[in-house]
Amino acid sequence: NKEESRYTEGQSAGRVYEFYGLKEIMAKLGHERLTMLKFDIEGFEWDLFENEILTLESALLPSVLVFELHTLGANRRFVAPKLVEGRDGRAVNELFVKLWHLGYRTVSKSVNGGDRFCADFVLIRN
């Protein structure tokens, strides 16, 4: 139901996409808990962290996070500059401090070979 979604519809190349929040997706799929959450969403990960993951109740937090993080200067062919505006090293540190306080520990980091402003991470929650 479009009215229930907290995200607006998106359009790209004549296609229409409807976006849902994490809790909405879990409800639609009948999931009460997530063991692992993997996402590669080209700059939209900042919104996912701020408005979804960092606001979840402790019992709903995934045990494992696997994601690609784009920062200021990311390749414009893949990431709209507006999505990473202000997302510099300080913003990354602030995000990881918040994740640390939620019990997450980084077990893997790999800088993207084609874009030094993008890295893949694996975090596990204690």
pTM of the model: 0.84
- At residue 126, the pLDDT reads 87
Residue 112 CA to residue 103 CA, distance in Å, equals 26
- At residue 9, the pLDDT reads 45
- At residue 13, the pLDDT reads 64
Residue 126 CA to residue 120 CA, distance in Å, equals 20
Residue 117 CA to residue 70 CA, distance in Å, equals 6
Q: Which residues in the chain land under pLDDT 50? A: 1-10
Q: Taking a C-beta distance cutoff of 8 angstroms, is the pair 90, 103 a contact?
A: no
